Amino acid sequence: MQDCSIAATDLACRRGDRVLFHSLSLELQAGEALQIAGANGIGKSSLMRILAGLMPPYAGTVDCQGAVGLIDERPALDTHQPLGAALAFWQRIDGPAEDATARLGLSHLLDVPVRYLSTGQKKRAAFARLIGQGAPIWLLDEALNGLDSDAARLAETLAAEHCAQGGICIVASHQAFALQPMRRVELAEFAA
């Protein structure tokens, strides 16, 4: 993970006829963290999708050195499969990696179809998938939504451990996220 980095230069995002933000640049190296903050609808999730390569920017460029893992409101888990099978699917693609299901309190849910999990359980399952992916760059879009206080602290701890091991975390949230040191960017400063 020591060689990972992510840089965005003069990004702009357009949704329909409206430009949400423009002239946004950022750069993170191994071990660094950044919070993207702002009100609902300002473009935090769109920015995260641009950084993940899932949405093209209206203007600007993104350069990533290292794989990117994203947690957003849509966990990439087959809702018709039991949780264990849904996670095993990704393990076959990603290769052997750390199994975080016990640490995330999911071991007793591996035979439960993903569609029956609570919002918080699905979010913890998304963290298990992210850890198993082994990506050095974590994009956490409203990662604390749906988590109880203990699970939220665990998510913050996982992010801190990831950065301490040389990973990068970008957190998009209007909620406080305890990760030190972490720079902060107010997306409103780049609003069109």
* pLDDT classification of 83: cutoffs 50, 70, 90: very high
Q: What is the mean pLDDT of residues 171-179?
A: 85
Domains of the chain in sequence order: 31-56+67-182 (3.40.50.300)
Task: State yes or no: pLDDT of 192 exceeds 90.
Answer: no
pTM beyond 0.95: no
Instruction: Give the span between the Cα atoms of 116 and 21, in whole angstroms.
Output: 37
In this predicted model, what pLDDT tens digit does every residue of 87-135 receive, in sequence order?
999 988 887 767 788 999 999 999 999 999 999 999 999 999 999 999 9
pLDDT of 139 > 90? The answer is yes
| Region 133-146 average pLDDT | 93
